[in-house]
Amino acid sequence: MFAAGFLRFLLILVLAYAILSIVKGIAASWTRRPAPPPRSAPPDALVKDEVCGVYLPRRDAIRDVIDGRERFFCSDDCRRKARAKTPPAQ
């Protein structure tokens, strides 16, 4: 019965190889997927505070839309100054 045992061993080996290649294929399809392109500027991009003229990373800036334009500020104080300069459209 040596042959039967060897055949079973071979079958298990082939099955294991097949499962391994399927798992590898799935893993490869996950890692190969390209990252989606950023919709907006990266969080590290520098933006300018138009009130005091300072540059700061986008993720640290206070974002506001004034007069239909996206603007960035270093502090809420600057944001308020910009809002005071540009009254909201009626």
Residues interacting with Zn ion, by CB under 5 A? 49, 51-52, 74, 78
In the bound state with Zn ion, the residue whose beta carbon lies nearer, of 67 and 77, is 77
CB of 46 to Zn ion, least distance (A): 13
Please give the biggest Cα pair distance in the chain: 93
- State the nearest-atom distance from the C-beta of 82 to Zn ion, in Å: 9
Helical ranges in 1-90 per DSSP H: 2-32, 76-85
DSSP 47-72: EEBTTT--EEEGGGSEEEEETTEEEE
Cα 28 to Cα 15: distance, rounded to the nearest angstrom: 20
- Smallest separation, CB 81 to Zn ion (Å): 8
Residue number with CB closer to Zn ion (24 or 85): 85
Nearer to Zn ion, 18 or 52 (CB): 52
